[in-house]
Chain A
């Protein structure tokens, strides 16, 4: 599975949108982009995933560039409960092994 690169940390003001970038320049055609997050001392939580098209659900939006070499996770209105480490993972499908990188530590401040 392709590797991903994310900034180590990011601060965001409560109520504002948080835009989390991820680079995956070696992604192959059948690989999806998955986002998970881990709140401190809890198990990771699935957020969203996509292949080519932009996706939106009740938690977030995922914007994938046309060349698929990078993507952005958008939390539209960040709350304090969104403080977590966010992981961008590329893999063929959810049955594959998830290889977690360092992720981005997002801190939402009042």
Chain B
């Protein structure tokens, strides 16, 4: 069964609004979560690393004030796309390493469409 869930699975919003995406680890603690985005016909691009209880680390070129990440508990990390614009329309995916240090589990993804 799924070990990482995301909510919502898809969202449509108007330009200028903010959208929150949740990533939950099921039945295990996730001290670290990674956030990716994927544009159509492209590969996944790492956006940021989310650590429980501390500030997220952003990849070069990713605006930390636009993509707010909160990792307030060991099972939940949230990504908020603030003042979303059509160019933010993408597939957002989270992942977290497994406790055995051998694999990473990915969420099913959230498709965002900004009109």
CB-CB under 8 A from B106, the residues of chain A are: 43-45
CB-CB under 8 A from B67, the residues of chain A are: none
Q: In the complex, what distance in Å separates the CA atom of A109 from the CA atom of B101?
A: 35
Among B59-115, those with CB < 8 Å from A are: 91, 93, 95, 97-98, 101-109, 111
Measured CB to CB, the nearest residue on chain A to B110 is A43
CB distance from B73 to the nearest CB of A (A): 19
Q: Main SS of chain A's interface residues?
A: loop
Choose one: A42, A43, A97, A100; the contact of B43 (CB below 8 Å): A100
Q: Which of B4, B6, B36, B43 has the most CB of A within 10 A?
A: B43
Among A6-44, those with CB < 8 Å from B are: 38, 41-44
- Please state if A98 and B34 are interface contacts (CB–CB under 8 Å): yes
- Please state if A94 and B97 are interface contacts (CB–CB under 8 Å): yes
CB-CB under 8 A from B93, the residues of chain A are: 43-44
Does B49 sit within 8 A of A, measured CB to CB?
yes
Chain B interface residue count, CB cutoff 8 Å, equals 25
Measured CB to CB, the nearest residue on chain B to A105 is B41
Q: In the complex, what distance in Å separates the CA atom of A41 from the CA atom of B92?
A: 11
Report, as a range, how many residues of chain A touch the other chain. Answer: 20 to 34
CB distance from A70 to the nearest CB of B (A): 20
Q: Which of B105, B106, B109, B111 has the most CB of A within 10 A?
A: B106
Does B15 sit within 8 A of A, measured CB to CB?
no
Choose one: B98, B102, B104; the contact of A98 (CB below 8 Å): B104
Measured CB to CB, the nearest residue on chain A to B91 is A41
Among A31-80, those with CB < 8 Å from B are: 38, 41-46, 49
Please give the residue numbers on chain B whose beta carbons come within 8 Å of chain A beta carbons, in ascending order.
4, 6, 32, 34, 36, 43-46, 49, 91, 93, 95, 97-98, 101-109, 111
Please give 15 more A-B residue pairs, beta carbons under 8 A apart, in addition to A43-B107, A46-B105, A97-B46: A41-B91, A41-B109, A43-B4, A43-B93, A49-B103, A85-B43, A87-B43, A94-B104, A95-B101, A97-B49, A98-B44, A100-B45, A100-B46, A101-B43, A102-B43
